[in-house]
Homo-oligomer: A and B are copies of this chain.
Amino acid sequence: MTVSKLSNTARVDEASIQPFPNSEKTYIEGSRPDIRVPMREISLTATTVSNPDGSTRLEPNEAVRVYDTSGVYSDPEVSVDIRQGLEAMRSSWVLERDDTEELPGDSSDYAKLRAADDSLDGLRFDLKRTPRRAKPGKNVSQMHYARQGVITPEMEYIAIRENMTLQHLKEQGLVNEQHPGEAFGAEIPDEITPEFVRSEVARGRAIIPCNINHPESEPMIIGRNFLVKVNGNIGNSALGSSIEEEVAKLSWGIRWGADTMMDLSTGKNIHETREWIIRNSPVPVGTVPIYQALEKVDGVAENLTWEVFRDTLIEQAEQGVDYFTIHAGVLLRYVPMTATRVTGIVSRGGSIMAKWCLAHHEENFLYTHFEEICEICKQYDVAFSLGDGLRPGSIADANDAAQFGELETLGELTKIAWQHDVQVMIEGPGHVPMHMIKANMEKQLEHCDEAPFYTLGPLTTDIAPGYDHITSGIGAAMIGWYGCAMLCYVTPKEHLGLPNKDDVKTGIITYKLAAHAADLAKGHPGAQVRDNALSKARFEFRWEDQFNLGLDPDTARSYHDETLPKESAKVAHFCSMCGPKFCSMKISQEVRDYASAQGVEVRGETIKVLDLDAEMQKKSEEFKQAGSEIYQKV
């Protein structure tokens, strides 16, 4: 009898590999042929322009390049087989640095146990990589390289990726037209160079989460001087969902723009689920190791030990987890400060550690063992995401003493991690009314010396369960503007249930638009290119271009087609909102044609206004000659 094995049956999620409309997946080559930075190029149709003689001509619109997080899932040249995992693109970079060694097998006791358990064969990802680790005495973190003055291929890759849109504009000889931003002290350069990436990582102001055991990942950077990033969460719980579903949520999430994915599994087979996810993820994967550690002690927080936790870190580091959420700032003295809160401690990790601290009357073992955790992280290049275990869970609890006390401790831990050249970002709230958001960013910059901030929302009101992607999207956009480097998404199911694929998509798109709104407000060079192209398409009734330039072409098209399904309506110079006679866009074009026909220049503002004055003067003369009847009867 053959057992049904996931490694025989698992299939890539079909919805995740559909090509984007009018888009081409291309790669920009760096200084060496194995630096190939993916992007999506959206082709546009031409603009129909009227000639003075009434004939028309076509003026082409340049394709728009957009940042692409979807990996080879969106590359029609690649046939993705999730049983094989993705190509280990970064392997050669790791190998050529010659500071790591292949291990004989898993170092962690738990991983060995799982490997020896035949009953898991049906679930296992068959083609597991042999883990690597730094050679004794070596530090393989990108921060370490950066501080040695080394520009890694990862850094060059990132520079090309971040700089892409602008570069493309320059190649076309176009000027970047956008509003100057307001960046609150961020130092965003006009061009992202590999050296700038290096210097930011060395400074600790940006991180590149890229575990040496996750060579499938496409390098990306998180820092306030780069594009604002978005994290999506996946992971099963005791109540739900299969491994295949989680891999589908991964490929689905990155399709819509997730820059990193956290696997927050708390249910069964966490180890095996994670292997499938990492082997198939082109984006960095983060975890909260305490979740799995707790599973190992049967959910009894008091029974957690440093040894169990340490083994979990090694287990996960050798699988390739790129960043760990570690709730090392939940100190014993902060815990009772939460007792007066309306919603106590809402971070799962935070509440677990709080319970442990109180049960043992001891300081948080993540804090007391923090340097040992650093030692592990630097052997694999796992970045810290220092968890905000005491973040507020309600508007009422925002910015309280417990929250800010913990933030100060996270600042202290940041400096310790940096002594080990371990990359660090800091997690932030949560639930904060709008006017109290900025204080969070300012305190974080101050206490954590500009280490990247990574916030969940924040939600700006508690009264809209079912709409918390929006209550939090407001706060996320604002804190991104103020300097937050990555926004952890919130789905419509927040507080209510486990998100399904639709919820994941809605959450990601909401956060992408929030992150982009922040990029615009910060004045990130090139950020406005896509807005401008879409707005021009909208004005010119290039419906397909408008859909395709959007974050979600499918939804835009289907909304349009609900009222005007016919193909002919895609070229119509009106839409169902106003009908053919009433379209302001159409009238506006007539105004423009009219102004142009009257000799009013429509290029630069100065020329235009001067011409306008002359024009008005001329008209005024004509008008007087015609008898000066201001209010003629028609």
Q: Are A577 and B534 in contact (CB under 8 A)?
A: no
Q: Are B182 and A435 in contact (CB under 8 A)?
A: yes
A436 to B365, CA, bound (A): 46
Interface size on A, residues (CB 8 A): 156
Q: Are A179 and B474 in contact (CB under 8 A)?
A: no
A580 to B348, CA, bound (A): 12
Other-chain contact of A462, B500, B531, B616 (Cβ < 8 Å): B531
The 19 listed contacts between A and B (C-beta, < 8 Å) are A179-B433, A238-B581, A340-B602, A342-B536, A343-B538, A344-B585, A352-B584, A360-B632, A363-B630, A393-B538, A393-B539, A401-B605, A431-B535, A433-B517, A466-B559, A495-B575, A496-B559, A497-B575, A497-B576
A27 at the interface (CB under 8 A from B): no
The digit string for A478-494, where 1 denotes a CB below 8 A from any CB of B, is: 10010000000000110
Q: Are B463 and A351 in contact (CB under 8 A)?
A: no
Give, as a whole number of angstroms, the nearest-CB distance from A616 to chain B.
Answer: 6
- When all copies of this chain in the complex are counted, the total is 2
A521 to B439, CA, bound (A): 13
A39 at the interface (CB under 8 A from B): no
Q: Known contacts being A237-B579, A496-B575, is A346 close to B588, with CB within 8 Å?
A: yes
- Specify the chain B residue showing the minimal Cβ separation from A534: B462
> Which residues of chain A from 510 to 553 have a CB within 8 Å of any chain B CB?
510, 512-514, 516-518, 520-523, 528, 530-532, 534-536, 538-539, 546-547, 549-552
Q: Are B237 and A346 in contact (CB under 8 A)?
A: no
Q: Which residues of B contact A520 (CB under 8 A)?
A: 395, 433-434, 460-461
A551 to B591, CA, bound (A): 43
Q: Which residues of B contact A595 (CB under 8 A)?
A: 335-336, 339, 358
Give, as a whole number of angstroms, the nearest-CB distance from A342 to chain B.
Answer: 5
Q: Are B535 and A342 in contact (CB under 8 A)?
A: yes
Other-chain contact of A434, B517, B534, B580 (Cβ < 8 Å): B517
Q: Known contacts being A550-B465, A591-B354, A630-B363, is A337 close to B434, with CB within 8 Å?
A: no
Q: Known contacts being A338-B588, A355-B591, is A579 close to B267, with CB within 8 Å?
A: yes
> Which residues of chain A from 267 to 322 have a CB within 8 Å of any chain B CB?
267, 291, 294, 299, 301, 303, 305-307
4 smallest A-B Cβ distances: which pairs?
A: A238-B579, A344-B588, A394-B535, A351-B587
Q: Are A461 and B517 in contact (CB under 8 A)?
A: yes
Can you name 19 extra interface pairs (CB under 8 A) apart from A362-B630, A393-B539?
A181-B433, A237-B582, A239-B564, A307-B633, A336-B595, A336-B608, A339-B591, A339-B608, A348-B584, A433-B520, A462-B531, A463-B550, A463-B551, A465-B552, A470-B510, A493-B577, A495-B538, A496-B575, A497-B577
